[in-house]
Each structure stands twice: as C-alpha cells, then as structure tokens.
C-alpha cells in the first residue's frame, strides 16, 4: 500500500511541474505580445510627435518674421550738397575746322600676286666653224671629172675627204645658181680634151665605186 501511495505522490508532483512550465511559457508569450504591441504603438505615435515638433518650429519662425519686418532700417546719412561752382565767363563758340576730304588711296597689290621675272638674256651660241674645202687649182683646163655635188658644206667636205683617202686629189668649186641656191661641186683632174677626161672617169669610178661625170670647167 505504501508503494502505491508513493507512486501517486510522484504522479501528482510531475503533473504540478508541467503546469508550472505551461504557466511560464504563457507568461513569456504574454510579455512578448505586450512588448510588440508597445513597439507598434510607439512607431505610430512617433510621426505625430515629429509633426508636432515641426509645427512648433514653423510657428516660432512666423512669430519672428513680423519682428524682423517691423524693425526699422537705419537710413544712411545724407551728404551735404556740393558748393555751386562759379559761372565761367562767356566765351565765343569755337570755330569748327572744315572737314578734310580723304584723298583716294590706291591700295597696294596683294602679296599673293604673281611676280613675273624679267626675261632672260638670250644665250649667244658661237656659230660652228665651217669646214675647210680644198680650193680649185690655177689651171682648170677645159674638162674635169665631177664625183658629186651638195648644197650642204659639211656633206661636201665629207665627200672630199673620202675621195682624198682613195689616193686622188679632189677640189671643191662653189657655184651660186640664184634661186637654186649655192652648190658645192667636188671635182678631180683638169684636162684639155674630152677623151682624156673620159679615160680618167673610168679610173675614178673603179676606185670610188660610184658614178662620175665629165664636165666642162667653164
């Protein structure tokens, strides 16, 4: 029986402990709810306090403005008027100088104008020396052998040099033919009859390998 009573006491004790724990939990929940409610109320009441403070500040500012407006500004001291200057003696009006007409000025030419250089002096070129031609002999005879003729003095000199290099003794006769111009005739030999000149012509053609002609000297 004693053992059964002890068990009952233990059960009763354990039930009491659970109740205590439940009460403690409820108390904590209640405290947390009250705290959160206080925080929410404080947040809601804070803006109204700020608005109230701002309204008070605005009222103070409006109360100060009339005082600032009504305060009289000190007027600056007026300087005494300057003494009147004595009237200067009347002077005759000065004569105005006659307007001077500006002379027409010709503007200088622009710098970018092209400058034409003076014409260069012509270069004098010395004329080339004319080639020397062999003069005809004193005794021309009646007939001679002509190997060529040219209006160019240089060409006549070259033909003469060629005939001379073959062993003959040529000479050049200058003939002025009016409108036909001046001709240089290259000739060889002086003969009194035509037959002698013809025989010599054949020798000349054989040596020079060109055509020769028998011509009268006059």
The CB density around residue 186, as the number of other CB atoms within 10 Å, is 25
Distances (CA, A) of 52 to 38, 47, 93: 21, 8, 81
Cα radius of gyration rounded to whole Å, the chain = 76
Is the pLDDT assigned to residue 145 strictly greater than 70? yes
Segment (H or E) for 149? strand 143-150
Is the pLDDT assigned to residue 117 strictly greater than 60? yes
Give the model's pLDDT for residue 57: 66
Is the pLDDT assigned to residue 156 strictly greater than 50? yes
Buried b / exposed e over 139-163, threshold 16 CB at 10 Å, is ebbebbbbbbbbeeeeebbebbebb
Sequence-separated (6 or more) residues with CB below 8 Å from residue 132: 157
Least reliable range by pLDDT among 10-24, 154-168, 197-211: 10-24
Is residue 213 within 8 Å of 182, Cβ to Cβ?
A: no
**pTM: predicted TM-score of the whole model, two decimal places:** 0.42
The pLDDT mean for the chain works out to 76
Query: What is the tens place of the pLDDT at every residue in 182-197?
Result: 999 999 999 999 999 9
Query: What is the tens place of the pLDDT at every residue in 119-140?
Result: 777 777 666 777 788 899 888 8
Give the model's pLDDT for residue 86: 57
């Amino acid at each position: 029986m004693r053992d059964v009573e002890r068990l009952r006491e233990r059960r009763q004790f354990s039930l009491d402990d659970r109740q205590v724990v439940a009460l403690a939990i409820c108390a904590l929940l209640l405290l947390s709810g009250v705290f959160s409610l206080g925080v929410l109320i404080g947040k809601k009441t804070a803006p109204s306090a700020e608005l109230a403070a701002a309204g008070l500040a605005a009222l103070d500012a409006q109360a100060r403005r009339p005082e600032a407006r009504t305060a009289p500004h000190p007027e600056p001291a007026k300087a005494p008027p300057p003494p009147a200057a004595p009237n200067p003696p009347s002077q005759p009006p000065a004569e105005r100088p006659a307007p001077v007409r500006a002379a027409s000025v010709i503007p200088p030419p622009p710098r970018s104008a092209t400058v034409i250089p003076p014409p260069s002096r012509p270069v004098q070129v010395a004329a080339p020396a004319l080639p020397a031609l062999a003069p005809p002999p004193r005794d021309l005879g009646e007939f001679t052998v002509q190997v060529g003729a040219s209006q160019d003095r240089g060409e006549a000199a070259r033909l003469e040099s060629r005939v001379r290099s073959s062993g003959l003794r040529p000479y050049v006769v200058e003939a002025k033919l009016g409108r036909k111009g001046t001709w240089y005739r290259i000739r060889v030999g002086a003969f009194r009859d035509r037959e002698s000149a013809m025989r010599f012509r054949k020798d000349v053609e054989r040596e020079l390998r060109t055509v020769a002609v028998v011509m009268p000297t006059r």
